[in-house]
Chain A
Amino acid sequence: MIWSISADFERGSPHIETNCNYKMQYTNWPIKSNVMIEDIVTRIQDETEGVPIRTVKSFMTKIPSVVTGADIVQWLMKNLSIEDPAEAMHIGSLIAAQGYFFPISDHVLSLKDDGTFYRFQAPYFWPSNCWEPENTDYAIYLCKRTMQNKTRLELADYEAENLARLQRAFARKWEFIYMQAEAQVKIDRKKDKTERKILDSQERAFWDVHRPVPGCVNTTEMDIRKCRRMKNPHRVKKSVYGLAEEGTQSQSPIHTPSHHCRKGTKEDVEKEILFLNTQLDRHCMKMSKVAESLITYTEQYMEYDPFVTAPEPSNPWTSDDPSFWDLEASKEPSQQRVKKWGFSLEEALKDPAGQELFLKFLESEFSSENLRFWLAVQDLKRMPQQEVAQRAQDIWTEFLAEGAPSSINLDSHSYERTSQNLKDPGRYSYEDAQDHIYKLMKSDSYTRFLRSNVYQDLLMARKKVCVFLSVINTRVSSNMYFV
């Protein structure tokens, strides 16, 4: 269990400005979830629209201000449009774990769909108040508990252990802590009995959030990337019991004072205006067309989507049988896979087997230089920076120079631009040319490829084999009858 997180982020890095061993306090801040939860918690306690909160008579005592778990679950289901009670219990448990309501007889903060009694937390203790309770506060609290002679307020095992640990840690300060605890007890005694019951339980729930039962999730842990949005980054620690502050300022190790949201400078706004003007000139598609396009794409690929259509022979993860992967890796592509090559040139090229077949087809048509050029440029873009210039030159020599061995056909405009680019060869020198060649292949060679015998044979291949085998089978069986 962690309640003081020592920041051992950096062991020797020069970049982080804070040193090791400083205690990092995570604070809660008004993030969207908290705002939404607080809205729910306010509504649920509403007199007319909320749950029935009442005092329950039990043996010789009264239990003030409680509501049953079942009532909370029902309210959540109705008001958050939840159909499954399990879902309502889950979300309710999370809200409880954050500290907005709690079971009156348990340290574990979860919601049960039964007659268990729950009480709502006082807004004073809500997470959004950015509590960072120190161990001194916790020590005072545990000490206070031991002074109250009530069985129901006896320390749980883990609390007793915590107290022992704190006594060792604060050995020198213990007198001070003890005195504070005594003072708290005196103040508490003066309060009204019912009020005391409620406040005691709320205080206990507060500590259940900040010093959770071992094994329970500590909901005060925060994502380190979000630490910047502290309400007050340089705040001094706030004591739950109003003790004088003890001085070390808390600071996010990532977001030092100099790190802040970039404010809009003149240059930024000018850049933004330029950007907006470009966007205004953009030609956009109508929503209806976009919707049709998304639907068409998805429908086409649904038979290939293992979550929608069960893969053949089986999904390796569910059957523990990896044959599906073996088949995919084999040299003989399935009919289904071959069909995919017909969806777009991109699909055909993405699949190594498809690429190989397309190349063979182009070779038969004596136009393979286009695809080879395209592949070479793809390769160029993947090279380490050092090798880029040389490779760009090689491509020029092979495909574009006068008398090149694999001369490709470019329009004069692209040719001009490309030769200009080659004056300072880089990985994007051939973008125009590559684009042009790709469009050429797509509109010309690719369409012929799909109609070609090599492709069609492969697409229908299985059928042919099956027909052949079945013919043999009947012949054999009919022969047998003859004999």
Chain B
Amino acid sequence: MIYPPHVEYFLKIVFSETILRMCPHLLLWPCENPFRCRSLPAQRKIYMRSPPIPEMATQEVQLNETLAHLKTESETLKSKLEEERAKLHDVELHQVAEKVEGLGQFVMKTRRTLKGHGNKVLCMDWCKDKRRIVSSSQDGKVIVWDAFTTNKEHAVTMPCTWVMACAYAPSGCAVACGGLDNKCSVYPLSLDKNENLAAKKKSVAMHTNYLSACSFTNSDMQILTSSGDGTCALWDVESGQLLQSFHGHAADVLCLDLAPSETGNTFVSGGCDKKANVWDMRSGQCIQSFETHESDINSVRYYPSGDAFASGSDDATCRLYDLRADREVAIYSKESIIFGVSSVDFSLSGRLLFGGYNDYTINVWDVLKGTRVSILFGHENRVSTLRVSPDGTAFCTGSWDHTLRIWA
């Protein structure tokens, strides 16, 4: 409908006021695209505030006072919350686990070494067929391997270096990757080895800083990403449309993991703000938050039942958080472990937690008893990525020494 200009102007003012009242982005997030919400303050300046007046000074003082008051309120609530949670902390996990039979001696060795990357391996992911993997490296190369035979099946050269994230599609027919280009791109894998994969590339996600992690959801049609810009986002692969964005981290988000449940719609993310946040994919809300690490959280992974998750951090510890207790329930650390954890994953039953460390080793932890079961040497530089295979028969590590290793 076209209105005369003066009516249009009037409507503009009225409607923008209405929008502002409905969506002040303080309490509600009804917008599909919160990026729009963020631009409102600028509009607000135009429509609600006249040019600066002397009262501004008083207003600013008031604002600071309000802010201080709010901060105190927030701190009080935090202590109260800690108090409430502590009341339910009646016993430690490892104490209850004393009755559980100890694990025997483990013989875990490198069963395959995958050589082919020309620089630091940064990320890897398994295919659902339990033997293929995709890996990405600092030199811009993304390689798909049949880890069982150690043959390279596909190779793509990305237009940027530091490809920090890669993921295999559930169908096994595509891979996603990204890094310093701030994007996540999907490459369909063709059976024709001679075909140029780069030609079919599809750009899906666009962030304003590096892509730190990506993962397909239950289908090839959606991708979840995390970025150095402090946000996570859910994208529709076919159209590249942003379906949902997740704001709440105060610094770079370094990792994410989707809940294993078929019925679940949540995922957990970890960031440089030392927080691990659990998100509802449908609403974009943060539903739980954990802040006990003393440094960046480099990796998060759900416990197989989906009721808990583990995290690995630069503070040289791995921790287990339970969602039902809303609390940290175990710490995996040793005096002799002083280098950060880059990557963690559980064995199929959740009894073992594997951690890849910046001191070139892998430490294997008994999740229930809290003790270290084994330390594995082999890599000649930092272990940057670690994933257990879909059927739990092996785990794969990628390292700054340019190689990947399969351990079983």
Does B144 count as interface, using CB distance less than 8 angstroms? no
Neighbouring B residues of A13 by C-beta, 8 Å: 159-160, 181-182
Dominant secondary structure of chain B at its interface with chain A: loop
One digit per residue, 1 when the CB lies within 8 angstroms of any chain B CB and 0 when it does not, for chain A 288-302 equals 111111110111111
Contacts of B226-250 to chain A: CB distance below 8 A: 228, 230, 236-239, 241, 243, 250
Q: Which of A32, A325, A434, A438 has the most CB of B within 10 A?
A: A32
Q: Is the CB of B322 within 8 A of A307?
A: no
- Min CB–CB distance B84 → chain A (angstroms): 7
How close is A251's CB to chain B, nearest CB, in angstroms? Answer: 15
Give complex CA distance A294, B353 in Å: 14
* A228 and B272 alpha carbons, distance in the complex (Å): 10
Indicate whether B200 reaches chain A with its CB closer than 8 angstroms: no
> Is A405 in contact with chain B by the CB < 8 A criterion?
no
B391 touches A276 (CB 8 A): no
- B316/A33 in contact, CB under 8 A: yes
A16 surroundings in chain B (CB, below 8 A):
180
In the complex with contacts A15-B208, A280-B81, A304-B348 CB distance below 8 A: yes
Q: Is the CB of A279 within 8 A of B71?
A: no
The answer to whether residues A32 and B295 also contact, given A82-B336, A295-B100, A307-B347 and a CB cut-off of 8 A, is: yes
| In the complex with contacts A280-B84, A305-B347, A317-B212 CB distance below 8 A | no
Does B164 count as interface, using CB distance less than 8 angstroms?
Answer: yes
- Interface presence of A147 (CB below 8 A): no
Most buried by A among B305, B308, B315: B305
Q: A269-B71, A276-B78, A292-B96 are in contact. Are A90 and B359 (CB under 8 A)?
A: yes
**Residue in A closest to B25 when the chains form the complex, CB atoms:** A267
Judge whether A301 and B88 touch: CB under 8 Å: no
Interface bin, chain A:
35 or more
Known: A307-B348, A346-B261. A291 touches B239 (CB 8 A): no
Known: A32-B340, A307-B106, A346-B262. A225 touches B392 (CB 8 A): no
The answer to whether A200 has its CB under 8 Å from any CB of chain B is no
| CB of A61 closer than 8 Å to a CB of B | no
Whether A1 sits at the interface, judged by CB under 8 Å, is: no
Q: A297-B305, A322-B148 are in contact. Are A31 and B314 (CB under 8 A)?
A: yes
- Give Cα A434–Cα B74 distance, bound, in whole angstroms: 37
One of B26, B180, B236 near A9 (C-beta < 8 A)? B180
**Least Cβ distance of A48 to chain B in Å?**
20
B338, A87: Cβ atoms closer than 8 Å: no
Indicate if A40 sits at the interface (CB-CB under 8 A).
yes
Task: Report A317-371 residues with CB < 8 Å from chain B CB.
Answer: 317-318, 322, 324-325, 328, 346, 349-350
Residue B263 CB within 8 A of the other chain: yes
A286 located at the interface, meaning its Cβ lies under 8 Å from any Cβ of chain B in the complex: yes
Contact flags (1/0) for B237-274 with A, using CB distance below 8 Å? 11101010000001110100000011101000000110
Report if B222 contacts A (CB, 8 A): yes
Q: Which residues of the partner chain A approach B219 to less than 8 Å between Cβ atoms?
A: 381-383
Best-buried of A40, A225, A293 by chain B (most CB within 10 Å): A225
Among the stretches B8-16, B51-59, B186-194, B282-290, the one at the interface with A is B282-290
Contacts A33-B339, A37-B338; is A383 near B70 (CB within 8 Å)?
no
Check: B21 CB closer than 8 A to any chain A CB. no
Q: Check if B303 is an interface residue, CB within 8 A of chain A.
A: yes
Cα distance, A272 to B88, chains bound together (Å)? 23
A306 and B111 in contact, given A287-B90, A290-B329, A385-B243 (Cβ under 8 angstroms): no
* Structural contact, A384 and B209, CB atoms closer than 8 A: no
Instruction: Please indicate the chain A residues that have their CB under 8 angstroms from the CB of B103 in the complex.
Output: 308
Of A15, A280, A308, which is within 8 A of B352 by CB? A308
Q: State whether the Cβ of B6 lies closer than 8 Å to any Cβ in chain A.
A: no
User: For chain B residues 196-240, which have a beta carbon within 8 Å of chain A?
Assistant: 208-210, 212, 217-219, 221-222, 228, 230, 236-239
Q: Does A173 contact B (CB under 8 A)?
A: no
Q: What is the minimal beta-carbon distance from A70 to any residue of chain B, in angstroms?
A: 18
Closest approach, in angstroms, between the C-beta of B66 and any C-beta of chain A?
Answer: 7
* A285 at interface, CB cutoff 8 A: yes
Question: With A269-B67, A284-B85, A291-B96 in contact, do A33 and B263 touch (Cβ < 8 Å)?
Answer: no
Q: Mark B299-330, 1 if CB is under 8 A from A, else 0.
A: 00001110110000011100000101111010
Instruction: Evaluate contact between B27 and A94: CB separation under 8 angstroms.
Output: no
A87 touches B336 (CB 8 A): yes
Chain A residue at minimum C-beta to C-beta distance from B164: A225
Q: Judge if A203 is at the interface, Cβ distance under 8 Å.
A: no
Return the chain B residue nearest A267 by Cβ: B26
Question: Is B239's CB under 8 angstroms from A315's CB?
Answer: no
Decide: A298 and B295 in contact? CB cutoff 8 A. Answer: no
B367 within 8 A of A: yes
Contact flag A276-B238 (CB < 8 Å), given A31-B314, A32-B316: no
Assess whether B393 is in contact with A317, with CB atoms less than 8 Å apart: yes
User: Is B350 close to A, CB under 8 A?
Assistant: yes
Distance of A245 from chain B, by nearest CB (Å): 28
Give the residues in chain A near B162, CB-CB below 8 Å. 9, 224
Choose among B180, B238, B406 the residue with the greatest number of A CB atoms under 10 Å from its CB. B180
Bound Cα distance A226, B164 (Å): 13
Nearest Cβ in chain A — how far from B138, in angstroms? Answer: 8
Name the residue of chain A whose CB is nearest to the CB of B352.
Answer: A307
Determine if A286 and B325 form an interchain contact, defined as CB atoms under 8 angstroms apart.
Answer: yes
Q: Is the CB of B239 within 8 A of A294?
A: no
- Decide: B336 and A80 in contact? CB cutoff 8 A: yes
Contact between A273 and B74, CB atoms less than 8 A apart: yes
Residues B63-82 near A (CB distance < 8 A): 63, 66-67, 70-71, 73-74, 77-78, 80-81
Taking a contact as CB atoms under 8 Å apart, the answer to whether A269 and B350 are in contact is no
Distance A295 CA – B327 CA, assembled complex (angstroms)? 17
Contact B81 A91 (CB under 8 A): no
Alpha-carbon gap, A267 to B327, bound state (A): 26
From the candidates B212, B265, B326, name the one contacting A284 in the complex (CB within 8 A). Answer: B326
Q: Does B400 contact A (CB under 8 A)?
A: yes
Q: Does A104 contact B (CB under 8 A)?
A: no
Contact call B340/A384, Cβ cutoff below 8 A: no
Please state if B182 and A15 are interface contacts (CB–CB under 8 Å): yes
**Any chain A CB within 8 A of the CB of B112?**
yes
A192-224 with Cβ < 8 A to chain B: 217, 221, 224
> What is the bound-complex CA distance between A9 and B239, given in angstroms?
27
What does the 1/0 interface line of A253-266 toward B look like (CB < 8 Å)?
A: 11000010110101
- A selection of 23 A-B contacts at a CB cut-off of 8 Å is A10-B159, A11-B159, A13-B181, A13-B182, A33-B314, A86-B377, A94-B359, A225-B252, A273-B73, A276-B77, A287-B90, A287-B325, A290-B322, A290-B325, A298-B350, A301-B304, A302-B351, A306-B393, A307-B108, A317-B111, A317-B408, A378-B218, A384-B236
Extra pairs beyond A80-B335, A284-B324 (7, CB < 8 Å) = A31-B340, A33-B314, A226-B296, A279-B326, A299-B100, A325-B131, A346-B262
A-side interface residues toward B, CB under 8 Å? 8-13, 15-16, 31-33, 36-37, 40, 76, 80-82, 86-88, 90-91, 94, 217, 221, 224-226, 228, 253-254, 259, 261-262, 264, 266-267, 269-277, 279-280, 282, 284-295, 297-302, 304-308, 311, 315-318, 322, 324-325, 328, 346, 349-350, 378, 381-386, 428, 431, 434-435, 438
Q: Which 3 A-B pairs have the closest CB atoms?
A: A382-B219, A305-B349, A301-B349
Which residues of B are at the interface with A, using a C-beta cutoff of 8 A?
A: 25-27, 63, 66-67, 70-71, 73-74, 77-78, 80-81, 84-85, 88-93, 95-97, 100, 103, 106, 108, 111-112, 130-131, 148, 159-162, 164, 180-182, 208-210, 212, 217-219, 221-222, 228, 230, 236-239, 241, 243, 250-252, 254, 261-263, 265, 272-273, 282, 286, 288-289, 294-296, 303-305, 307-308, 314-316, 322, 324-327, 329, 334-336, 338-340, 347-352, 358-361, 367-368, 375, 377, 380-381, 391-394, 400-401, 406, 408
